[in-house]
Structure 1
């Protein structure tokens, strides 16, 4: 029988175990935020520090359901969820400690949220209101470019706010809770910044439009078209378009951002072709840009037809692709001394930086803050100013070139000399390439093999990937040479080289060491088994009979394989492959051997 002392000890053990278990659960479970105390001196508060969240992937939860699962709300330091399915609920628990009634305001500072519903729960019932860029401006709770809500509180009053946020775009829920006076100052500063930015775009657009009308230079018109499309996208992004330009066109407001920014990407590619004059300076790159323009035009059509979330993702990917391509083109043009290319490259670097930060924030890879939220505006402002300078510099430079060409015929001669020099350099380059080839088989020779293997080994060691070297020695080639002569043997070697070319991958290199020895270098191989399978296929191909000049002959091969190791250099790698090849010959020939 259990004594009273045993029962007490057992109870104590159970209690201690329960406390330990509860403590562990508290450590691993995210805690919800406590009640927020507001007094007369409370400054603006960041929602990242205040709000709890609850995801609703199915979009089926009602306020009644949410209030029943209050314990499921969690807290995180960053309320940027990226592209996510279904609504997200935010909860704030407020208690007023002011001496008199005051009105507070909650703002979500990302204007492109589709719909935000506020359920303000207190002892007097539930107050509801809504905002968002799919809500007509006249129906929003507060007339503002961002979702804003009034929260009136009496002294000592306690209220719980539930924000249901739904958006096809990036679910960026950063924002602030502040007093009415603080909000008015914050809002004025924001409108001032955006007004300055829009004024800059308008001034630059009108200036370059006048230059186009005066000079009839096509790049100025393309630049104006790019600025107009980009300005529409920025107005949609910062909420000013829905407030001033299309206040009642709520569905179009949601679609305007991806359409306008993708259209801006199209006009930017067209502008780059005309500005850099790639048709004259870089014909091959110009053909690539033409294809890019057609692809971007299809992306514009896609943003009109796809669901909004897919359209926004298409916009981000298209914008980054076009910007990177134009940046790369500008760098090449700098090398060719294309007029205005340096400023163009610098301008596009500014825009690329802003676009990358915005895209990373949209995909919730980096947190949402002032820099990431307004990165596109900051980067585009610098880009627009630099492009205007670039247009002026390009025009002046071209003008000076024309005048100098008319005044001095020597420049024509210098140009011809330069063209001749370039032709000679290309000829020298072709001769150098021929010097790197085996004249009989057309494969790489020893010198080319050494250079390629050194570079390939460095690349694979940097990427921590495997590199394989296969040394191939023909079996039974000498009797063929003796029987049919060296001329026929050369035909056999050329046929072997052709079969090697057919079996190797695009990233592989086949080379001839000399005589009947060949080498194949295979980069980024997955495993030793994969290399052996490739060698076996190659061996099967070489074993097939050859019919040349009416004679049918069979050629076999012994293949030695060496896989790269961290301490390997080119000489060691080839030596190990050679040793493995001799092992294959010793084991009976016509086989592969991994060294």
Structure 2
């Protein structure tokens, strides 16, 4: 009995295999067990094109012979086509326990996918797709996913009816429940990282815009928002998390958002590259491109979805190519940031071209072509952030340079104002210490300078000579020719005082026709008399003013300082000597006596 049972167990698999080989269409049946790996639909499914979308399930089952193995095509990407596509899979379990498998189509933009799971218990129907509300999907997932349950030894036939106005991409996998969970988690993790990078970059550049108020940062954030919506729609995450109940809108969200992203990318390029400043003619081309992109956005809202998707692909490709050419032109003109911009858009262009070619079924559908836009855009976003960061640093350096220039300008202005103020103060001091008519020192300056000269004389034990000069005959000139002419005579007298006195001597005007000269470093009274004589001779020389010849004389009183002298006493003694000179006949010099003889006493005279 035991031997018979062993024989039965040994022969059962062979009988199943023989039965499998003898069944009709047995070559298309996929055997599944506990250790089976994931099955690619390209290797296991057959397809049938229903151009008019008119076949029912019964008609399709009756037309089994019309199905074609999928591996006779390059892949299961049919591009933009009319009608629907049917896929058929024959499955059989050779496991000894219940099997739970998942059938996933890894393209979220399929409008509606219906699964007809046919077995001995009848037909199990379920549906999914981006036009199906999330709550009504067979399994809650961003992709169309269906549950396949197989009893031990059970054979089932799966019919998938795919209907989509977009690109008909039916690549997918049949995998065990455990493998699907791991595969799904990895996919969600990758998209979470991608979206996290977009959010971080968007917030970073938004903060930069709020801080700097520069339009390129805002345009970049708007571009990222539109592009993020397109990516969320493309990957099915938008329909799962953002608009789970807006099924009809979900079908149109991808072309609208991606075309809007193309428009905003052109706007961003104009502001970032500064084409209005650097390339005015090329900027007009970009303006036309922006206008055309705006019209394309409107078209994606109004056209049928399939035409809208085709418009999206064409617009994205054209805009990306034009911006890449623009960046190369800007590199030639040495526009700041153009190199990083060109590299960023080259990466995005590669992704856009790969996705567009896949959508038109011109290249195989695989991981790279399916996620080319995300890969290229992720790298592009990072590079553009680097470019904006470089722009921020350049802006910071410009602000610092401008601040330094402002500080230097302010410092220069402060210096100029200080110098002007100092000059004004000096001018005021000069006006306070200078006679406005003759330019000589006035009475205040005379007292200050004489006081300092006396102090220097005490330190050096050298006398200071003070000459008090009163003009002779000036009153008659003033009365005859007028005060204006008299002022010219006084100015001429002042000029002669400067001419005949030494450079170190200080001439001053007391007022009227009285002048004073402070003379230091005269060894003796004889030297003072000699200097006064030279001055008297110079003053006695005729003056030619306004075609008139006039002549004035002078009475000069000299006082030599001694220790007991101060400013007042010294001038008083010189004044007394001057009056003595006038009393002796004018136009002469008189030397005052020393203070021991009493101030104001007459001294020696010199005619």
Q: Alignment partner of 1:41: what SS?
A: coil
Q: How does 1:209-248 map to 2 (within 5 A)?
A: 209-248=206-245
Give the distance between the partners of 2:163 and 2:172, measured in 1 at CA: 15
Deviation of 1:406 (Å):
8.2
Partner of 1:72: 66
Counterparts of 1:103 and 1:231 in 2: how far apart (Å)?
A: 35
Q: Secondary structure at the match of 2:70?
A: coil
Distance 2:400 2:334 in 1: 18
Cα distance between partner residues in 2 of 1:50 and 1:64: 22
Whole-Å Cα distance in 2 between the matches of residues 128 and 280 of structure 1? 62
Q: Encode CA deviations 1:447-486: one digit per residue, 9 max, x unaligned.
A: xxxxxxxxxxxxxxxxxxxxxxxxxxxxxxxxxxxxxxxx
Structure 2 residue aligned with 1:98: 95
Structure 2: distance between partners of 1:396 and 1:171: 46
Structure 1 residue 397, shift from structure 2 partner: 2.6
Q: What corresponds to 2:174 in structure 1?
A: 177
Q: Tell whether 2:104 aligns with 1:110.
A: no
Could you tell me which of 185, 189, 195 is aligned with 1:188?
185
Matched position secondary structure for 1:81: strand
**Quick check: 1:33–1:75 contact (8 Å CA) kept in 2?**
no
Write out aligned runs for 1:12-27 (5 A): none
Q: Structure 1 residue 76: deviation in Å?
A: 2.8
- What is the CA-CA distance between 1:401 and the residue it aligns to? 5.0
Aligned to 1:156: 153
Q: Which secondary structure does the structure 2 equivalent of 1:295 belong to?
A: helix
Q: Deviations over 1:14-37 (max 9, x none)?
A: xxxxxxxxxxxxxxxxx9952100
Give runs of ≥4 in structure 1 deviating > 6 Å.
405-409
1:302 equivalent in alignment to 2:299: yes
Verify: 1:141 aligned to 2:141, yes or no.
no
Match of 2:370 in 1: 373
Tell me what 2:41 maps to: 47
Contact 1:119 1:162 in 2 (8 A): yes
> What is aligned with 2:256?
259
**C-alpha separation between the residues in 2 aligned to 1:180 and 1:385?**
36
Cα distance in structure 2, aligned partners of 1:45 and 1:369 = 15
In 1, Cα distance between equivalents of 2:374 and 2:38: 24
* TM-score, reference length from structure 2: 0.61
User: How far apart, in 1, do the equivalents of 2:168 and 2:350 lie?
Assistant: 21
1:417 maps to none
| C-alpha distance in 1 between matches for 2:205 and 2:214 | 10
- Structure 2 Cα separation of the partners of residues 408 and 100 of structure 1: 82
Answer whether contact 2:44 2:70 (CA < 8 A) is retained: no
Given that residues 115 and 166 in structure 1 are in contact (C-alpha distance below 8 angstroms), is that contact kept between their aligned partners in structure 2? Answer: yes
Distance 1:164 1:404, change over 3 A: same
CA distance in 1, matches of 2:33, 2:399: 72
How many residues align structurally? 379
Q: CA deviation at 1:300?
A: 0.0
Are positions 1:59 and 2:56 aligned together? Answer: no
* 8 A contact 2:47–2:68 mirrored in 1: yes
1:123 aligns with 2:117: no
Determine whether 1:349 maps to 2:361.
no
Deviation by residue 1:376-413 (Cα, 9 ceiling, x = unmatched):
0000000000000001112323443565588799xxxx
Counterparts of 2:396 and 2:225, CA distance in 1: 28
* Alpha-carbon distance change, 404 to 47 in structure 1, aligned in 2, over 3 angstroms: same
Determine if contact 1:339/1:397 at 8 Å carries over to the other structure.
no
Match of 1:269? 266
**Structural mapping, 1:467-478, within 5 Å:** none
Residue correspondence of structure 1 range 83-94 to structure 2 within 5 A: 83-94=80-91
2:333 matches 1:336: yes
The 2-side partners of 1:183 and 1:128 are apart by 21
Counterpart of 1:397 in structure 2 is 394
